[in-house]
Amino acid sequence: MTSPPTTPTPPSRDRQVDLRATATVAAYLGIIGLVLYGALIGWRLLSFVLLPFAIAVLLTALLEPVATFLKRRLRLPGAVAALVTVLGTLGIIAAVVLVIAPQIVNQTSTMVGQVEEGIAKIPGVLRDLGVKDADLQNAIQSGTDNLKEDFGSIAGRVGSGVLSVASLVTSVVGGMLLVLMMLIYLLMDGDGFWRGCMRFVPIERREGWHEGGVRAWDTLKMFIRSQVMVSAIDGIGVGIGLWIVGVPLWLPLGVMTFVLSLIPTIGAILAGVIAALVALSTNGVSGFLWAIAIATIVQQVEGNILYPVLIGRSLSLHPLAVLLGVGAGTAVLGVVGAFLATPIMAAVASGMGWLGEPSPGTEEGLPPDGDAPPPDVPAAASG
């Protein structure tokens, strides 16, 4: 007698749902990967235009209150207010550079040498502090030797002008001119530019994108202004602290701290390390410890007082997100990418939460006049 044929068991509904969900997730990940790859290729092809535009947007977020004051209080036309804002800013920067640049230039080469000497003294300091393990000492010695070699190599290449000066100057000047032109137009008629961009978005999506843009712009303004203020306080605090304890290169170290602190999390730590190495070379172990203490105090004030008050917990990015963003920005754009990564991440993270949410209707789904990012700057168009 033959047994009846067995019929295959149909897959369970749960398994079908799991497979469908997995396929959907895989499809979304594939699309995201293609979009990111395309964006990277597009950025590399158009970086000569997109990079100055990104810098101009950040400067607009910083200088918008000045242009708004000139338009609303002094009744200046939008174009005149934009020109006065840009030229006045350039004048202030030039005056500051003329005052402190000679001291910084004269002391920069000395600071590079002091950093190298400080690196060389690290093993001796550890021995004085009681570190006796031979393997640890060998590892530290090897690491400090590598740091000295790398630092000296970088300084030597910069000092000897290995890079083509002519091409570098041409690229920098061209980029600066583009930034200035874009900055003037954004301060003068940012609203018109935004409304033009919105016409490329489907009508049914414009409301959500407009709300997301407004939120992202507000976040970017707050983040940039607060970050500059925090960095200035960091630089002043470190500079004054090093001056009090007798570190001779306190001025260039303070300026360096201000610049590096514009990179959240990483920049201030790097500036503190450099300041400690210089203090170790010029003032010995006591100066080294004082520099570490000063940098630590400034960091604690920044993290526990300045950031919560000026930026707020709701706008703070997770340190890991900052590290990943700065790393990605550095890999794509070098040093400039390290500075641009965090404000762009903050704006995108804020704006994405608003996409797709309904808002009060406006004609044809377009944002109302005078209420698009940059929300205040564009008032120049009507002034």
Domain ranges of the chain: 47-200, 205-365
- Which of the residue ranges 48-57, 212-221, 328-337 would you say has the lowest mean pLDDT? 328-337
Closest CA to 128 of 296, 283, 275, 284: 284
pLDDT at 89 over 50: yes
Above pLDDT 70, what percent of the chain?
66
Mean pLDDT of 271-276: 86
Q: Which residue has the higher pLDDT, 303 or 367?
A: 303
Above pLDDT 90, what percent of the chain?
10
- The model's pLDDT over 331-346, given as tens digits with 9 standing for 90+, comes to 877 777 778 888 888 7
- Which of the residue ranges 195-204, 272-281, 286-295, 327-336 would you say has the lowest mean pLDDT? 327-336
- The model's pLDDT over 125-171, given as tens digits with 9 standing for 90+, comes to 666 666 555 555 565 556 556 555 555 554 454 444 444 555 556 67
- Which of the residue ranges 114-123, 336-345, 374-383 would you say has the lowest mean pLDDT? 374-383
Contacts of 271 (CB under 8 A, 6+ apart): 234, 238, 253, 256, 257, 260, 261, 295
Candidate ranges 52-66, 98-112, 359-373; pick with highest mean pLDDT: 52-66
pLDDT at 119 over 60: yes
DSSP state of 130: T
Report the C-alpha gap between 315 and 222 in whole angstroms: 9
